[in-house]
Amino acid sequence: MTATEKLAAYIKAHPHAFGKVVDVDLLRDKLYPLDLTISNTDLTAELVSDTAAFSQYVDERLAANKCRYAVGGYMEHRTIYNRSELFGTEGEPRRLHLGVDIWGPAGTPVYAPIAGVVHSFADNNYFGDYGPTIILQHQLEGFTLYSLYGHLSRTSIEGLAVGDIIKKDQQIAALGNIDENGSWPPHLHFQLMLHIGDAKGDYPGVGYFSRKDEYAQNIPNPELVLNFANAIKA
């Protein structure tokens, strides 16, 4: 059973277990599917290496399509990671995106979709990295689920403590700006994991394409929680 199948089975048995990650009206809002693969020819190396220009591109896509957020990315093979040496330049580079990105304005509130505790947090302050990051731990029936929130504002991790109790739909953070979120257009990296080993405040959000099947055993599709599919602009 893959991680997605395991979480899907839990949600089927507990259909109201999960709440929101961002404020969105799934009956009225439209979400823009942002393609960050090589097939998007707008994404030149020059564009993605310039964070301000990259941010402007995302903002223009949202405005032109009258969408509140841009979304996408689970198991997407992206070329944009060549903007940072963090993702490797020799051998097989990391290019497989393991979570879902939700692109919106800096300051956008971020919520815990299910009750849990603060597992860990850190400011991964490196070009192309997560910037401020929070990992929550959730005890479900029969297994543990971890949720990761990356590219946050620095104020999001101020005053946090490991073990803090978090309620369902509680605001836990806000999207960071380009000067604090790892130098990305403002967005949330939202990722789910069943096991994280000894990781604290960080867990890979981009992996190796050759290990895709392996990742699928541990990293569920966040769409199970988000339920964005019907709101994505055709």
Is there a contact between 10 and 141 (Cβ–Cβ < 8 Å)?
A: yes
Report CA-CA distances (Å) from 101 to 12, 150, 167.
Answer: 24, 9, 23
User: Which residue ranges make up each domain of the chain?
Assistant: 3-231
pTM of the model: 0.97
> What CATH topology corresponds to 3-231?
Glucose Permease (Domain IIA) (2.70.70)
Tell me the per-residue pLDDT of 59-89, one tens digit each, with 9 for 90 and over. 999 999 999 999 999 999 998 998 888 898 6
Instruction: Compute the average pLDDT of residues 87-111.
Output: 93
Could you identify the residue written with the tokens 């893959």?
A: 2
Residue 187 forms beta bridges with which residues? 103
Cα–Cα distance for residue pair 211/227, rounded to 1 Å: 26
At 90 the pLDDT is 75
In 3D space, the residue among 58, 184, 176, 154 whose CA is nearest the CA of residue 106 turns out to be 176
At 89 the pLDDT is 66
Q: Is the pLDDT of residue 91 over 90?
A: no
At 79 the pLDDT is 87
Tell me, what DSSP letter sits at residue 3?
H
Cα–Cα distance for residue pair 100/122, rounded to 1 Å: 20
Longest Cα–Cα distance in the chain: 48
Least confident residue range of 76-90, 111-125, 168-182, 187-201: 76-90
DSSP strands (E only) in the chain: 31-33, 69-72, 76-77, 96-97, 100-103, 109-111, 116-124, 131-140, 143-150, 165-166, 171-174, 187-193, 206-207
Residues 6+ apart with CB under 8 A from 174: 106, 107, 108, 109, 110, 152, 153, 155, 156
In 3D space, the residue among 19, 10, 15, 7 whose CA is nearest the CA of residue 167 turns out to be 19
Residues 6+ apart with CB under 8 A from 223: 74, 100, 229
Tell me the per-residue pLDDT of 13-29, one tens digit each, with 9 for 90 and over. 999 999 999 999 999 99
